[in-house]
Structure 1
Amino acid sequence: MGSTATTMTAHAAEVGALDLFDLQLLNERWGRDSLPYPFMLTRPARFEFLDEVAGYAAQLPDRLRSGDLTNFARCLNALRHADVTVTGHVQYVPADTPSIRVLAFRTGQSGYLLEQRADADVVDVYTVSPFELAAAVATAMRLESPGCHPLVVNAEHTPSRPAVVDDDDVVVRHGMTAERGVKTSISQLSAYAQVQSNWRPGREWGIDSRKDSLVWVRIKDDGDYLGAPDRSSGIPLTANLLRERIDGLIAADVEWLRQSRE
């Protein structure tokens, strides 16, 4: 494993390096988008003509059964039938530093973490405990240090308008209370990230806007902050806090699955 790979917890084991192009073609065979979010191809296309791609793709089933992809067969089957997936994407500012892109998922008693390499269209594949997806993703996010201030306030945030209820004799106005904290702006960010859990692999590439997600930011000469749900403010972020919040997202999905199967 190269130097670009994440230092994982003691409960992880490396499976190998999987070509993203192979993953793309397999995902398309399953009727899904070209690649699981947040992975993306960053290198020039390998083939020039569609018939070359078709010929290459036709070999994938045999490669999975008895060829060089055999070691990934269980992982790929688990991805296809995942109960819960967790995606993590860190975007650096400026973008000349490669993004961090990770995907963790569980099926029954199996768990996996995939992380895209910065220098190649390859994902490093690890087995993890299905109960440690949050810890694996939190580690992969490569947090640096918690922010220096108890609270930071997004200077660009536009608060929602106060609610007004007028019923003849009663008028109720819910005013906005000003947040007390150090004001920050987008220009001060050196990284921003989003983490989301979902109870099934998405059919379309990207964050599911209908589900909750976690956002954290890194402020220059300061540290890492976990954003409020409305993105109006942030509190200092540690790896333990991030793990706890991701565990909360996963728990909500697991509960949804439990109720749906009753």
Structure 2
Amino acid sequence: MISPAMCRSAPRRAAQVRRLLSSAAPPAHAGAAVPGPCIVHKRGNDILHDPWYNKDTAFPMTERDRLGLRGLLPPRVMSFEQQYERFINSFRSLEHNTRGEPDSIVALAKWRILNRLHDRNETLYYRVLIDNIKDFAPIIYTPTVGLVCENYSGLFRRPRGMYFSAKDKGEMMSMIYNWPAEKVDMIVVTDGSRILGLGDLGVQGIGIPIGKLDVYVAAAGINPQKVLPIMLDVGTNNEKLLEDKLYLGLRQPRLEGEEYLAVVDEFMEAVHARWPKAVVQ
């Protein structure tokens, strides 16, 4: 759970993250010491589909012309602050419209609206979290993240983080370089075996690393461009998941003993080879 002390101290830690987010630079440029303009090699829809570059309707007309965005966005230019206000209003409207609904339905609805923002505009997403961590921490992490993990395969929209599995044995050293960020400071990894009090959820446990890192960013001031959630899928002993046609993980019993340790060792060697100073939790 998120302690009251962490929530109270969040504003003091938020200034650094706001400065980092102000540049909206992608992970590949995360090593820049001073936030500011970055070179954009993408154009048009490729920018709008990249949550680190995308500013939605905040692109001024000069940038729309240079980046091939004119005609791909509604004509009105809305500032970052206006977008922030619009999202908060949408969230409060959702709260009002779901009064009287079961708690689980309301919690997942709130998570969905935040997740859609996360997929579309990471800069705005983290600003929303930083300014409202006390309200949103229970949505992005416990207790709502438990519901998300239980329903992950059905809720899946797009991948986030990295996925290593028992089927990748012998390939992990090359796989680690598929992540675009040159520098990663913190990794949170799970094998999905014990998710909160819910037991073995297999690959669906990825919600824990994602939510935990979002809390670290918003409440502890960690650079969001230098974190990496990882799922280590070694199978599952959850029969319900193995029989679920929508389940996104390996459909096999969980590895144990030396087989399991061999996968973990190879994964850790790959991480250490690329990011030797990263904290792995």
Query: Which of the five TM-score ranges fits, normalised by the shorter chain?
Result: under 0.3
* Higher gyration radius (CA): 1
The structure where helix makes up a greater share of residues is 2
Give the TM-score normalised by structure 1. 0.27
